[in-house]
Amino acid sequence: MRPTKPQLPELSQRDTILRTRHPSDKTGPAPRDLTSRHASPRLPECAHPIGPHREVLRVRPHIPSPLPTISIPTHEQQNMANPPQLPRAPPVSIDQTVSDFDGVTFHISTPESKSKILVSIQIRCYADLVRYGAEQVLRREYGGLVVSPPEPGYDFSIQIDLDGLPADPSAREDLVRSVSLLKRNAMAAPFEHAYEEHYRLREEASKYTSEEAPQGVREGGEVMAVHYREEEAIYVKASHDRVTVIFSTVFREETDRVFGKVFIQEFVDARRRAIQNAPQVLFRHDPPLELQGVPGVRSAAAGAPAGGEMGYVTFVLFPRHLTPQRMPEVISHIQTFRDYFHYHIKASKVR
């Protein structure tokens, strides 16, 4: 009577049956050690008593290989790669007048057609700016957008044709940013003129010693005055080793003068403590030496303007601030100092 074959336990789909030879079989290579430190505890062996060689069934759970990592872009990433094309709104008629700091006025209108936007600017000191090259700077920045002559009652105008906008979205953003800097670019003219004069004087000074240099090189260029407010002005003077920018400002109240002095002292202390590369900042009530003999400068002996007291804030820009790489940023920051200064004075009084 043949012995019955023992029933093996059913294996799940995750199990793998590994067959090995009996250790007494010398005809083949020795069985490999199929155990692993990751394997589960060894299950009991089931011996088949049939034949000279018995088969040993060793059951071992199957360890699946890890699935490959699939990177699925988020909705925001997909929008950044392929920005959605928004439907273009139809042009509309515009007639808006906008007032800015320092008495500057903008007029945005569509006098000819809805697809052509005319942007005009009126600046109190435009005649001073033209004297120092504002027309050349503005034509360099806006090129074919310039309208000549400008809109009546305004100093400078540009026109944007909505039907001729660039197809590249980044180019359109650059155009919008350029239009928003219209006042900044006009006010930049005397500063750019001072930068050019500084490099010219520095080249001339390099040919002489400090004692042999001509008087014009030692004393620097002319003082450029920009009367951008009714009683206040910006004075810019180039020298071979620096560019000096002086703001005259009126303090209407005694508390304004006190807060202004504290504010300027913070500039001085910050440069002394941590920001050695910052421009030198000075404050005084008498006109600085650079303004001696300049027409329109009010001296201390002449008295203060009606209803206030005059003060002078001086910035000294050294060669490290006058590099072509840093020049645009320095010009953008320094020309708005007066608004920044008086804003913080008023904010301190409100607290």
| pLDDT of 294 strictly over 90 | no
b/e map 238-268, b = 16+ CB within 10 Å = bbbebbbbbbbbbbeeeebbebbeebbeebe
Res. 173 pLDDT band, cuts 50 70 90: very high
Element containing residue 251 per DSSP (H, E)? strand 243-251
Q: Tokens representing 149?
A: 């002559």
> What are the domain boundaries of the chain?
12-62, 95-187, 189-350
In this structure, which topology does domain 95-187 adopt according to CATH?
Yope Regulator; Chain: A, (3.30.1460)
Domains 95-187 and 189-350 share a fold: yes
Q: What does the pLDDT read at residue 277?
A: 76
The pLDDT value given to residue 121: 97
Has residue 120 got a pLDDT over 90? yes
d(CA 156, CA 110): 16
Query: Percentage of the chain with pLDDT > 70?
Result: 68
Tell me how far apart the alpha carbons of residues 289 and 274 are, in angstroms, rounded to a whole number.
28
pLDDT, one tens digit per residue, over 312-333 is: 999 999 988 889 899 999 999 9
Spatial separation of the C-alpha atoms in residues 134 and 339, rounded to whole Å: 21
Q: In the prediction, which pLDDT does 299 show?
A: 61
- Domain covering 189-350 assigned CATH 2.60.40.1230 in the classification: no
Q: Residue 175 carries which side chain, given as an amino acid letter?
A: L
